[in-house]
Amino acid sequence: MRTHSLSADPKQLPLPIHAPAPPEFVFARVFRRLGIKRSVPDFHIEYRPFSSLRSNIHLQGNRARVRISDVLEEAPSLVLEALAEILLAQLFRRRPSAEARECYLAYVFEPAVRRRIDENRRQRGRLRLLPAQGRHYDLDEIFARLNHKFFKGDLSCRQIGWSPKSSRSVLGHYDPAHHTITISRSLDSASVPAEVVEYLVFHEMLHIHFPLERNGSRRVMHSRAFRQAEKSYPGYRRVRDRLKGIFSE
């Protein structure tokens, strides 16, 4: 087998090896490219051990403090440029380009990156979940029954339970990192029909069955297949109307 080495031929000039540009330089370069009508801020970039994939930017005077999830510390420069455009557009109330969003999402949706994100959430994040047995409804029993009826018993969930707070805005949530389903405690009430609670559990179970997808520069939580499966739920329209009626009171 023939191998190649940059130093094998003494007449061959060594290829230039460029160190990655410092993140502060990348942000300043993107700032100039966006044509924002003000002086370039003094950027200070930190990679932080966040429990989730989040980044933020704060501007005070001419000092811009940027905090980025350490999951992105090894990301290619092109991904960092895309993130810089997204954050700067957010700061100055502009719309980031579809190319920037697509580049960023393409990277964070890579399987290896998703595994790191989920692992960080499991290790660093706190899971707050009340037991499945509530005052009026048992979520474990509902999950097992729906799993058998609609999914042939194939779905798994590490834990399902009620939320610590009685939220009326977020009624249900599936957490892929912890593989858990949370249902708002506001539904654990005798005034809430059983079919409404069951429908919401079914909706979150569909998120297990149909994982998050990417379509260009958009994250797709409710794909076409997801929507079709949801609408096949018995009494879908009636249950949705009852749900709206309960929380419009």
Per-residue pLDDT of 50-85, as tens digits, reads 888 889 999 999 999 999 999 999 999 999 999 999
CATH number of the domain within which 194 lies: 3.30.2010.10
What is the distance between the alpha carbons of residues 212 and 220, in angstroms, rounded to a whole number? 6
The phi and psi torsions of 85 (rounded to 5 degrees) equal: -65, -40
What is the distance between the alpha carbons of residues 42 and 60, in angstroms, rounded to a whole number? 10
Least confident of 200-204, 209-213, 228-232: 209-213
- The answer to whether residues 169 and 235 belong to one domain is yes
**Residue 131 forms part of a structural domain:** no
- The answer to whether residues 69 and 103 belong to one domain is yes
Residues 6+ apart with CB under 8 A from 26: 77, 80, 81, 84
Two tokens, residue 228: 């079709």
Enclosing domain of residue 94: 23-124
Give yes or no for residue 3 having a pLDDT over 60: no
Give yes or no for residue 209 having a pLDDT over 90: yes
CB 42, CB 62: distance < 8 Å: yes
Give yes or no for residue 14 having a pLDDT over 60: no
**Residue 18 forms part of a structural domain:** no
Angle value at C-alpha 214, between 51 and 183, nearest 5 degrees = 55
Tokens 């350490």 appear where? 70
Residue 126's identity, in one-letter code, is R
> What strands lie across the sheet with 180-183, from one edge to the other?
159-162, 180-183, 172-175
**Residue 2 forms part of a structural domain:** no
- The answer to whether residues 102 and 191 belong to one domain is no
Two tokens, residue 190: 């005798």
Among 124, 147, 180, identify where a domain stops: 124
CATH number of the domain within which 55 lies: 3.30.2010
Give the ranges where 92-235 is alpha helix by DSSP (H).
98-108, 111-124, 139-150, 194-209, 224-231
pLDDT tens for 105-160 read 999 988 899 889 888 887 877 778 899 999 999 999 999 999 999 999 999 999 99
Closest CA to 100 of 118, 117, 81: 81
Q: At how many degrees (to 10) do helices 23-34 and 77-91 cross?
A: 50
DSSP assignment of 212-235, as one string?
-EEETTEEESS-HHHHHHHHTSTT
**Residue 207 forms part of a structural domain:** yes
- The answer to whether residues 180 and 106 belong to one domain is no
Among 68, 94, 124, identify where a domain stops: 124
What's the pLDDT at 168?
A: 82
Give yes or no for residue 7 having a pLDDT over 50: no
What's the pLDDT at 6?
A: 36
Closest CA to 101 of 114, 115, 90, 113: 90
Q: How many domains does the chain contain in total?
A: 2
What's the pLDDT at 133?
A: 95
* Rg, the chain, Cα only: 24
- The answer to whether residues 147 and 112 belong to one domain is no
pLDDT bracket for residue 2 (50, 70, 90): very low
Among 99, 124, 149, identify where a domain stops: 124
